[in-house]
Amino acid sequence: MFYIIGLGLCDEKDITIRGLEAVKGSSRVYLEAYTSILMVQKEQLEAFYGKELILADRDMVETESDEILRGAAKEDVSLLVVGDPFGATTHTDMLLRARALEIPCRVIHNASIMNAVGASGLQLYNFGQTVSLVFFTETWKPDSFYDRIKENADLGMHTLVLLDIKVKEQSEENLARGRKIYEPPRYMSIPQAVSQLIEIEEDRQSGVLSPESTLAIALSRVGGGPGNERIVAGTLAELSVQSPEMFGEPLHSLVIVGKRVHPLEIEYAEEFAVDRNIWRNVAIGVYGCKFD
């Protein structure tokens, strides 16, 4: 059996009992190291699971899937991924490959930001499509995310914005010289994400986003529990002027609040507001929320 096992959001204890049993019974266990990041080191996972983990980076998962799948028709092989296995298209590719090789597969689900974003207090059924925001460079500012946010906003839906991660990137020089030397990982911060959103709004002028009157909720290390997880709510302007330390270590995500927001959602998130008065006043004045 080939298992793809979701590790959930934070650390070694977020695996399910079913997932842990599959790990313990596997001949080889791969740990996928690129689609996202864990809040914990490989060694800590190995100690807790009692298993050696083989690090599977982007190259390996995309180009050596047959090596990962080797023998899985006769023995158990596991691939561990952060969040839920269906968070990345690469895993669909792996499952298609396993199917072609007639290897039985089982997916062991877990939480991912796609459902844990409910921790913001916003209701999952009020979310539209999810968008990704990549690091802008001087010459490359892909802005199709803006159209997606607009589509959601026009319907009053919330938008989950996933912030870019750069892991195992090579500098142009190292790439050109074929040197496998990698840059330190980079994670987009909340203020940077907001500044990119505002930059595109200023270009497009469609009125989808407004620094003073668009509400948003920043989520950091969701599922990390008290003292680790952090949720910050405010206008885009408020979030943009916070120091990056306000949000702490990665990973960060951002939700743009849609106009169909329910007063109960506002009330729940008010606990996380930079300024409760501004939060509630914008909800009333701009979003049309009515409170008792």
Does residue number 116 form part of the binding site for a second copy (CB under 8 A)? yes
> Rule CB under 8 A: is residue 289 a binding residue for a second copy?
no
Q: Contact region for a second copy (CB under 8 A) — 39-47, 128-136, 183-191, 243-251?
A: 128-136
* Nearest residue (CB) to a second copy, 223 versus 234: 223
CB of 220 to a second copy, least distance (A): 15
Residue 176 near a second copy by CB under 8 A: no
Query: Please, which of residues 56-95 interact with a second copy by CB under 8 A?
Result: 84-87, 89, 92-93, 95
Residue 171 near a second copy by CB under 8 A: no
Distance CA 6, CA 108 (A): 6
Both tokens of residue 52?
């050696």
Q: Per rule CB under 8 A, is residue 144 in the interface with a second copy?
A: no
Amino acid letter for position 197: L
Q: What's the CA gap between 129 and 63, in Å, rounded? A: 30
For residue 34, the SS3 value is coil
In the bound state with a second copy, the residue whose beta carbon lies nearer, of 127 and 146, is: 127
Question: Shortest gap between Cβ of 268 and a second copy (angstroms)?
Answer: 5
Known binder of ligand: residue 59? no
The rounded distance, in Å, linking the Cα atoms of 151 and 129 is 9
Decide if 114 contacts 7 (C-beta within 8 A).
no
Angle at 277 between CA 276 and CA 280, to 5 degrees: 85
Closer by beta carbon to a second copy, 12 or else 201? 12
In the block, tokens 């809040």 appear at: 39
Distance CA 192, CA 119 (A): 22
Binder among 39, 45, 94, 111 for a second copy (CB under 8 A): 111
Select the span of 52-60, 183-191, 219-227, 283-291 touching a second copy (CB under 8 A): 219-227
Beta carbon of residue 214, minimum distance to a second copy (angstroms, whole number): 19
Residue for token digits 């330390």? 245
Residue 175 is assigned to a ligand binding site = no
Answer for which of 43, 50, 102, 125 binds a second copy (CB under 8 A) is 125
Cβ-based nearer residue to a second copy, 178 or 226: 226
231 binds a second copy (CB under 8 A): no
* Radius of gyration for the alpha carbons in the chain, expressed in angstroms and rounded: 21
Measured CA angle at 118 (ends 230, 254), to 5 deg: 55
How far apart (Å, rounded) are the C-alpha atoms in residues 220 and 230? 5
Query: Is residue 128 within 8 Å of 157, Cβ to Cβ?
Result: yes
Residue 45 marked as a ligand binder: no
Q: Which of 5, 9, 29, 273 binds a second copy (CB under 8 A)?
A: 9
Q: Is residue 250 near a second copy by the rule CB under 8 A?
A: no
Q: Decide: is 114 part of the binding site for a second copy (CB under 8 A).
A: yes
Report the DSSP pairing between strands 131-133 and 159-163: parallel
In this chain, which of 27, 52, 59, 99 binds a second copy, going by CB under 8 A? 99
Closest CA to 217 of 198, 236, 192: 236
Give every strand in the sheet of 252-256, ordered side by side: 131-133, 159-163, 252-256, 215-220, 230-235
Is position 9 annotated in a ligand binding site?
yes
Which residues belong to the annotated binding site for S-adenosyl-L-methionine? 9, 84, 87, 112-113, 163, 222, 252
